[in-house]
Amino acid sequence: MTVLFFAEMMLSVLMGAMSLCEATVFVEYIDVDEVMDATAGLFYLGYGCIGLLYLPVILTCVVLFCVWVYRANKNVRTLGAQGMEYSPGWCVGSFFVPILNLVIPYKAVREIYQASDPEADPMSWKNSLVSPVVGWWWGLWILSGILGQMEFRMAMSNVANVLVMGAWLGVLSGALAIPNALLAIRVVRSIHDRQERKAANMLQVIAEPRQS
């Protein structure tokens, strides 16, 4: 997940840089029907190639993130957490249900974070504190999704000014990709580390009677 988030971040930043060039250097070509010069043609060809490379990376990232969320939920159940509201399947499925996917995935990941508390018992995990990083990650995730939808719709327009605005939104999306990816990595690694420590604590408790 860390490698994929970094790859997605780098490609998003690169696309943001290309959008900046489009909005400033190549803005005169946005609404021109006649044949472009060689430089502009190569620029838009490169832009398209980066977009084609971005698609499989983001799809792979989404699939593996869903796999990770499913496993993380199952892990905490195996580690003894009881009374969880969201099942492993619903943790994944909630990402694909309109309207609900604005809130439920965040609550599901938040629950996994709490249940992964290495110091909590099977029920007291519900009182565990949640790092604000989880909230920041989800807020940026939602914001990036909104900007992506706006950018896509503007790119379909035939109006030059709208296309330029879409290019500037692409610049903003590229800039937000950095904190977005870093926060996502932090959330994944934090939950992973908490579950590793929780498992180690359980093994230690099991081993102590044998040693005595």
What local confidence, expressed as pLDDT, does residue 35 receive? Answer: 58
CA 149 vs CA 84, 90, 110: distances in Å: 33, 25, 26
Cα 68 from Cα 26, distance rounded (Å):
41
What local confidence, expressed as pLDDT, does residue 22 receive? Answer: 84
What rounded mean pLDDT belongs to the chain? 89
Half-sphere exposure of 66 (CA within 13 A, CB side): 12
What residues in the chain have per-residue pLDDT under 50? none
Cα 195 from Cα 59, distance rounded (Å):
26
| Whole-model pTM over 0.85 | yes
